């Protein structure tokens, strides 16, 4: 990997994201390109990796375009990249504005609206789920009658499983509608509405796909672990090349078909699917790098660097997708089991000395109010751990061992009683 020089064209990054889950990616990019950052606030942890930055409203496209033009007057910008759910569409527009390589903005917008994407899949016969748009409780009742139970309700344009709930009977309709509508409002995506979908049973996976001007390479398959129903909180991910086979080969073909019909031909995509008894079926297509450190797991397991690949594609270069490793890598998330105030959160020293533990990160500070999912979404997490192993089975055992080595003491005393005491 060549270190950037003052003459190296700069990469414009739209939104740095959470340092716990995207910090590694920014650090990696800075070893290859000069980084210009557009973000909602002046940089803090990002500062060592940047050549320049501008604080802008990431939801305001004219403001983003003005800031981009300002930076382009001072630096040669070779490409635009975003790994954020809500910034990907604007980043595609900025790339087109600068006439650099990037995904079609219309295709990115199509992915962002789950109802629109489902309609496209229906038109082209891509295996997906039966569905219906929902804008009020009465429409939800009609959708339930059409879909049958169980079925799933979700915001059409949120992220991170926010507001996604399985409805098992008519008695759950009103509560589910209120839950999902609140999530849409908190993510400021109420205008997109809600979507009721057929419940797809079977293991959940994602396909990490690199797209280079219409050439598609399925780099990795990520196997997901989910929390207790009726919610769909992700509790972990596993990447292991040995788990790929005829079933995942079919899933990869379906993922590529979905990308083609949506018009996505360039960049890196994270395609979520279920391996149902009737075959692989699409849950959703994300025109960005996977979250939850999935690109890091792919790098640990295969040696393929999806972060660098995404940047290279944005900069008009052909990425190196050569696999150099063949092992398993997994991440697990620790959630609180009760609501309360966090007294202490500690990790046993063995995690720092075990070569198979890539990282163990405590995400909350003592004194924080914590609650189990779905009350705070991804903010519910107390910690995450990443492990490597020779086999998937060994990775799962090590992940269980590592999570058991993180200890949380939560004070469940009601706030009013604690204050009185």
For 362, the token pair is 């405590």
Distances (CA, A) of 279 to 65, 199, 216, 339, 352: 43, 14, 21, 39, 42
Give yes or no for a contact between 153 and 174, defined as CB atoms under 8 angstroms apart.
no
Task: Report the candidate in 378, 375, 402, 376 with the shortest Cα–Cα distance to residue 388.
Answer: 402
Distances (CA, A) of 299 to 239, 307, 322, 323, 389: 9, 9, 11, 9, 13
Please write the tens of the pLDDT for every residue from 6-45.
Answer: 778 999 999 999 999 999 999 999 999 999 999 999 999 9
Give yes or no for a contact between 255 and 284, defined as CB atoms under 8 angstroms apart.
no
Domain 130-198 in CATH 3.30.1490.20: yes
Domain 204-324 in CATH 3.30.470.20: yes
Q: How far apart are CA 298 and CA 209, in angstroms?
A: 11
The domains of the chain are located at 10-100, 130-198, 204-324, 329-411
Q: How far apart are CA 36 and CA 50, in angstroms?
A: 6
Q: What is the pLDDT of residue 377?
A: 63
Q: If you compute the radius of gyration of the chain from its CA atoms, what whole number of angstroms results?
A: 22
CA 321 distance to own-chain centroid: 21
- Fold type of domain 10-100: Rossmann fold (3.40.50)
Asked if the peptide bond before residue 223 counts as cis, ω within 30 degrees of 0, the response is no
CA-based end-to-end distance of the chain = 59
For 49, the token pair is 């990796």
Q: How far apart are CA 109 and CA 14, in angstroms?
A: 16
Examine domains 204-324 and 329-411 and report if their fold is the same.
yes
Q: How far apart are CA 185 and CA 263, in angstroms?
A: 29
Q: What CATH number does domain 329-411 carry, 3.10.310.10, 1.20.5.440, 3.30.1200.10, 3.30.470.20?
A: 3.30.470.20
* Residue 322: count of CB within 10 angstroms of its CB: 8
pLDDT less than 70: residues of the chain: 1-2, 160, 375-378, 415-421
Full-model pTM = 0.93
Give yes or no for a contact between 154 and 180, defined as CB atoms under 8 angstroms apart.
yes
Give yes or no for a contact between 196 and 140, defined as CB atoms under 8 angstroms apart.
yes
């Amino acid at each position: 990997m060549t270190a950037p020089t003052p003459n190296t064209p700069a990469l414009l990054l739209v939104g740095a994201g959470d340092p716990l889950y995207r910090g590694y990616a920014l650090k990696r990019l800075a070893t290859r390109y000069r980084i210009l950052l557009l973000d909602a606030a002046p940089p803090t942890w990002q500062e060592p990796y940047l050549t320049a930055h501008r604080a802008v409203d990431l939801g305001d496209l004219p403001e983003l375009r003005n800031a981009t033009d300002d930076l382009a007057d001072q630096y040669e910008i070779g490409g635009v990249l975003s790994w954020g759910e809500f910034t990907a569409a604007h980043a595609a527009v900025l790339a087109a504005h600068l006439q650099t390589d990037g995904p079609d903005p219309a295709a990115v917008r199509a992915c962002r609206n789950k109802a629109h994407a489902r309609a496209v899949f229906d038109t082209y016969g891509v295996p997906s789920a039966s569905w219906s748009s929902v804008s009020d409780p009465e429409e939800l009742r009609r959708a339930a009658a059409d879909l049958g139970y169980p079925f799933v309700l979700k915001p059409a344009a949120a992220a991170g499983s926010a507001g996604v709930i399985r409805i098992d009977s008519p008695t759950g309709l009103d509560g589910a509608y209120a839950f999902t509508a609140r999530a849409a409002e908190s993510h400021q995506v109420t205008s997109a509405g809600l979507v009721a979908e057929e419940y797809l049973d079977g293991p959940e996976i994602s396909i990490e796909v690199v797209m280079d001007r219409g050439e598609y390479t399925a780099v990795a398959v990520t196997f997901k672990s989910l929390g207790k129903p009726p919610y769909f909180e992700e509790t972990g991910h596993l990447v292991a090349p040995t788990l790929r086979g005829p079933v995942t080969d079919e899933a990869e073909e379906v993922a590529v078909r979905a990308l083609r019909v949506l018009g996505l031909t360039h960049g890196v995509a994270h395609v979520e699917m279920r391996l149902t008894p009737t075959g692989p079926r699409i849950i959703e297509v994300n025109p960005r790098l996977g979250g939850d450190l999935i690109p890091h797991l792919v790098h640990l397991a295969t040696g393929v660097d999806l972060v660098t690949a995404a940047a290279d594609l944005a900069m008009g270069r052909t990425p190196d997708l050569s696999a150099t490793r063949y092992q398993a890598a997994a991440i697990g998330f620790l959630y609180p089991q009760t609501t309360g105030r966090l007294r202490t959160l500690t990790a046993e020293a063995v995690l720092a000395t075990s070569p198979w533990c890539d990282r163990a990160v405590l995400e909350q500070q003592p004194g924080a109010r914590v609650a189990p999912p779905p009350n705070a979404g991804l903010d519910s997490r107390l910690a995450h751990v990443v492990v490597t192993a020779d086999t998937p089975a060994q990775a799962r055992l090590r992940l269980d061992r590592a999570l058991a080595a993180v200890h949380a003491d939560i004070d469940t005393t009601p706030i009013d009683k604690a204050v009185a005491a």
